[in-house]
Amino acid sequence: MTSTANDANTCCIVTGAAGFVGSHLAERLLSLGCRVIGIDDFSSGCWENMSAFEKQPGFSFHECSVTSPGLLAEMRERHPAAACCFHLAAIVSVPYSVEHPEETMEVDCHAAVSLLREAEELGFRRFVFAGSAAEYGDDGRLPLREEYASEKTRHLSPYGRAKYLASAAVASSRIGVALRCFNIYGPRQDPGSPYSGVISRFVDMALQERSYTVFGDGMQTRDFVFVSDVVDAYLCAAGLSGAVPAPPGVYNVGTGRATSIVELAETISAVEGRRARIEHLPERAGDIRHSVSVPEALERAAGWRSRVSLADGLKETVSWARTAGSR
């Protein structure tokens, strides 16, 4: 995607700007000529993620929680041109959500809905919410379509339930778009974090020449989508970078391709030029066996589709991890 005149000086709020995806989104918005107001409380993000753009004149940062009352009104008072809100900040650990269900509901649902209502009252042009594939719970109908998630869905965690309720509220708003992202991977995903995905952990194991630890038989499948494709989806949702704004609603963000955990390990090993060594551990209770998206709705609505292949995305991720590890 290329920058357009409509992007110049667009002022965007990005919550979770110090996080994995949020930092990539903030950096891309700045490259398009947008002004970016970053918000994060560093509960899971880190300042290093913003090091590539923190000193750019179009970027300003506020350390605060998204549960703060009147947050968007305060940001609008400080930045009167703010017109779009990308809400990515959340409790993202499923195990943590199981142990802290009330806090998860407060942060991932109630705070999101409060921000949405504020954005409506303040006349924001667009509110884009980071949903999750966890909203589908244990639905065995594959591939997963947006309409499969409903009030009757059996969610496997408070995280999935909170995200579903927030997505439903956002999708019903005249300014709201909720993106149900599947398994995102790419540079800046910390393998040592409890929030890290299997790819960041496998890449770290590969660089240390350790065996891949796989829970169960490794035939579980996931829909892995590269972070730059996810950022493109956010831009499409907001109608930035030449995209036609997606109509209000909820949209899957994935590749539509199922990759097994064993296949993933083998692909990373091929990138590294070595043979995959896999150590099988007992299967984890509660893990979803298969997950893959139907991503066509966002393509029909706004022209988005994933473009980065798994092999190319892994090459870029390994290259970043190797450089980051040498610092």
Query: Does residue 315 sit within a domain?
Result: no
| Torsion angles phi and psi, residue 86, rounded to 5 | -105, 110
Beta bridge partners of 124: none
Q: Look-up: residue for tokens 């924001």?
A: 124
Query: Does residue 81 sit within a domain?
Result: yes
Query: Does residue 158 sit within a domain?
Result: yes
Distances (CA, A) of 30 to 55, 77, 241, 282, 292: 11, 21, 11, 45, 32
Query: Does residue 33 sit within a domain?
Result: yes
The confidence score (pLDDT) of residue 325 equals 63
Query: Does residue 49 sit within a domain?
Result: yes
Determine whether 159 is an active site residue: yes
CATH of the domain at 122: 3.40.50.720
Query: Does residue 98 sit within a domain?
Result: yes
C-alpha–C-alpha distance, residues 147 and 136, integer Å:
10
Of 159, 164, 185, 212, which residue is the catalytic one?
159
The confidence score (pLDDT) of residue 217 equals 95
Q: Look-up: residue for tokens 């379509």?
A: 145
The confidence score (pLDDT) of residue 327 equals 52
The confidence score (pLDDT) of residue 192 equals 73
The one-digit pLDDT tens for each residue of the chain (327 residues) are 444 445 667 999 999 999 999 999 999 999 999 999 999 999 999 999 999 999 999 999 999 999 999 999 999 999 999 999 999 999 998 889 999 999 999 999 999 999 999 999 999 999 999 999 999 998 999 999 999 999 999 999 999 999 999 999 999 999 999 999 999 999 999 887 655 689 999 999 999 999 999 999 999 999 999 999 999 999 999 999 887 889 999 999 999 999 999 999 999 999 988 888 999 999 876 678 899 999 999 999 999 999 999 999 999 999 999 998 655
Query: Does residue 297 sit within a domain?
Result: no
C-alpha–C-alpha distance, residues 247 and 173, integer Å:
10
- Which domain range does residue 26 map to? 9-185+224-253
The confidence score (pLDDT) of residue 94 equals 87
Instruction: State how many domains the chain has.
Output: 1
The confidence score (pLDDT) of residue 2 equals 42
Query: Does residue 263 sit within a domain?
Result: no
Tokens of 266: 């083998």
The confidence score (pLDDT) of residue 4 equals 44
The confidence score (pLDDT) of residue 324 equals 85
The crossing angle, in degrees rounded to 10, of helices 261-272 and 198-207 is 40
